[in-house]
Structure 1
Amino acid sequence: MADEGSHWSSDFVPIMDMPTHVMKCGQLPPLAEQSDTPSPNPRFLFLVIPGNPGIIGYYQVFMEELWRLSGCSVPVWGISNGGHVAIPNSNNNLDLVKTSYQVCSLQGQIKHKVAFVKEHVPQDVKVVLIGHSIGCYMILHMMSGLRDSHHVLRAFLLFPTIERMAESPKGQIATPLLKYLRWLGLGIVYILSYLSPHLQYRMILWYFRDRHVHGSVYNASMNLFDPFTVGNVIYMALQEMLTVKELDVALVQEHLPKLKFYYGVEDYWCPQKYYREMKAKFPHADVRICEKGLDHAFVIDSSEDMAAILWDWFKPDLHKAVD
């Protein structure tokens, strides 16, 4: 789908000196001074902040469907996490490795996203942030960083890993692996990186053999044979386990009117216990649980369902902002 229609663009954009994969489905309508037929309505933008691995190609079907549901009127842009997509012709040069130390930490990724918005999104645009997994944690901190420069209309936090990650069922397994065996995992990827792309692709097909998966998911997964990419993914994952601890209640309270939380029924990264506690802490907040049983990694085979749910949420905000 990417690069198959005039509504798509896919480029590597330098952000904080890190070439970053940015995908855009649809373009912003022109301002009055830029066109003889400007849009009479406010300009809106959906901006997708991914989880980890932060490969925006995984969200391609979700982005396309959300854009289509908007009547092709609201562009949907997505930004990869810095260092999470294999950079063409980079050969893992030393400058990129040095840059990764600044960008690829969890705090660096937050600064990276704020920098993208400030450099590439006009200030008049009403931004709707869509976060997935650790992307939700980033959005909470991004909103503070963008307070004085951009209008964040809403933030949709899907399967939010915003607290006690290491204590979650998946976190209890992942934390010791990331602490003590990450170099083994990276070594395996280094060996697999010497396989031909054809063999790598066949491995991905085998991994997803029992699921109905769009081709964009296969293509996105090819990035996980790149040692530089996987090293950054693992590094950030370890930081998540060590950094994302107790919920920042004051930060959530600060942005609460703009937030919607969406928890999974069986999500082992943010279990139902976290959902119930969030409801108890913020009884007037918009906190929902998925009634369709979507997986935490919804982008693998439930992108259309998630886009339809999110569009239904946003329609009242859109009508209110336009009226």
Structure 2
Amino acid sequence: MPGNKQVLVAGRPAAIPQAEHFEIVDNELPAAAPGEILVRNLFLSVDPAMRGWLADTSNYSQPIEIGSVMRSLAVGEIVESHVPGFVAGERVMGWFGWQQFAAVTSDAVIRKVEDFDLAPSLALGILGLNGVTALLGLEKVGRPNAGDTVVVSTAAGAVGSAVGQIAKLLGCRTIGITGGPEKLAICRDEFGYDVAIDYRAPDLDRSLAAACPQGANVYFDNTAGPISDAVYRQLALRARVVACGTASVASWSPVPSGPRVERIVMTRRAQIGGFVVLDYMDEFKSAGIRLAQWVREGKLKYREEIVNGIEQCPGAIADLYHGRNFGKRLIRLV
């Protein structure tokens, strides 16, 4: 009988989770009780949002308890079902955690993976949390119009790269902010940004001003911090800001100080809207269908960085925040 390797939360990080905050254990294969399905995970997701899920304050979800399986989206195959409408052999995506097998109710399933012509791993990236966040965050909060200038931070990342391409599909001019020459080239050559700017450059303000002579109409903010301070200074009249991530802020305890944006927001009549995709789960499937069609048509490109084995999990979140990944980070189990 196979066992079930699981990644447990061993301690609560004060800032970015490190490998020592997790523990890999071997447990027995779980049994699917009445009303449950047993899923064998094929791919585990690694997302920047996991840092917030582990925090004990200032977040949009309940913190993960110490000693529990690390919360994660995963794609897996049903091996046993006691739920009508779910059949052994079907592939599903949902909240199955960092583990090899998960016995869950149907509430944990976000959708069946039925894009049989596309790789199942895409359900965790461009067709999953990242792509849907990009599409709905841009449309619901950013509300771009054709001809708008859209600025995106972490522009080479799994969310940012999708935002830039979708904005182009909507007729916008796109400015991507990223770090290092390799990622700058990826933003321009693969993801089609009109301009790519290195946030490590000596004068970010001057680079942004040159790239946005009429100001930024939409800012898709995945970082907060000094990058966003610079973008705020370039906001156009009636700009919209999508507050989607705070990757550049190491810790929110104590709350860091920084430039005040209220005067900019008032004088330019800008609007700031927070976006969490969990508020739009009823639109997840329909958004995924739109994204999948763009992928099939070659209009939406993506990168995946896949590593093998559950042993890769503990250090995976820290790698994201150190910029060591090029594309959506996934852990393949089978």
Fold agreement, TM-score > 0.5: no
Q: Which structure shows the higher strand fraction?
A: 2
Q: Which structure shows the higher helix fraction?
A: 1
Q: What is the TM-score normalised by the length of structure 2?
A: 0.29
Larger Rg: 2
Q: What is the TM-score normalised by the length of structure 1?
A: 0.30
